[in-house]
Structure 1
C-alpha cells in the first residue's frame, strides 16, 4: 500500500480546479490518467525528473475511482486531504450549511481512536 501515492493524488487533484471537476465527473478516467502520467513525477520538480515504480494498489485505485473517502481514510489517506478535496467536489450537492462536512463526519463516525496511521 502506498499512502504516499494516495495522498499525492489527493493533494495534486485538489490544487487544480479543472482536475477537481474532471475527477468529480470521470473518476475512473481521472485516476487512470493520473496514475499513468502524474504518479511518478516528483513534486515541485521540473518535468524531466521522475521515477518509474509508483502504482496504486487495487484497493486504493478502487476507493479513488468510487470517491470512497471512508475507505481512503481506513487505508491511511490524510483526513485533511480527503476532506478538502471532497468538499470542493460535493459541497454544492447539499442545501444546508456544512452539509457535506456533516455527512463526512457521519460516515466516519464508526472509526474510533486511535485513527489509522496517516504517516507516509
Structure 2
C-alpha cells in the first residue's frame, strides 16, 4: 500500500476506545488504499466523516457510542465504536501522519 493514504494506518494506536474501533480502523485503511499520496488533510477529514456516517448510520459526535453489527465479534463492547476515541485520538493521529507522509511525497516529487 505504498504510495496510498493507507500508509497512515500501518501502525495501530496503543489503545482503542471500544472493541469495534479496530474494525473501523481496518475498514478505513481499505477504503483509503485506493487513494494516492499526496492527499489533502481537508479531503481526508471530509472523507473520514462521510465514511463514519455511512458505516455507523450516524454523525460522529463527542461522547457517543455506536453499534455496528458487522463489527460484533463478541465481548462486552462487541461491535461498539467510540466517537470520542475517533475525535480525540484516532482522527488527530491520522491527520498528523498524513501531513508527514504528504511532505515526504512532495519532497520526492520535487527532486
Class of the TM-score when normalised by the shorter of the 2 chains: 0.3 to 0.5
- With normalisation by structure 2, the TM-score equals 0.39
Q: Which structure is higher in strand share? A: 2
- With normalisation by structure 1, the TM-score equals 0.37
